Amino acid sequence: MLKPTEFFWLIPAFPIGGALLVGALLISFNRTMKRLSKPIAFLLLTSGFASTIISYLLLTQELSNETIKYTSLGLGFDIFQLKLNIDFLVDKFTSFMLSAISTISLISMFIYHFYRSSKPGYGQFFTVLTFMTGVILTFSLSSFTREVIENFIG
């Protein structure tokens, strides 16, 4: 059986991927996509819900472990002779932050959907909201954010 620490990278990938897909469709088929608010909402809310479920699975796994364990995933990029390393860190604090952020963003998505679904500009704003949710989830997973918090606290 797969453990949530093996696919924790899907937590920010679902909202970012859904937002990029809908954003590309909005750019390509602008007139048609403006009329399709329900499919847009379904796709983006499903991506937010999936990341929330995975973050709660990760939280339950991290809370059941007695020992403090760091799971990291390092990604390295070479862009124009610039080396960029991205490290994701998962521990109890990170899993709690992921579940809190994803829950709050999912609630705000539901509220926004029921409040503004028939108004103009709905699809664009909802796409940006979902993309920003993914970016915030990525920042909460990064080891840099954890180092800044530890240096600020102690």
pTM: 0.82
The kind and range of the H/E element at 77 are strand 71-79
Beta bridge partners of 76: 85
> Which comes out higher in pLDDT, residue 69 or 103?
103
| Across 32-40, average pLDDT | 77
Which range (84-88, 89-93, 121-125, 141-145) has the least confidence? Answer: 84-88
pLDDT band at 13 (very low <50, low <70, confident <90, very high): very high
Beta bridge partners of 82: 79
Look over the chain and give the mean of its residue pLDDT values, rounded to a whole number: 82
pLDDT greater than 90 at residue 87: no
Please tell me the predicted confidence (pLDDT) of residue 141: 85
CA distances from 11 to 30, 55, 58, 87 (A): 28, 6, 10, 15
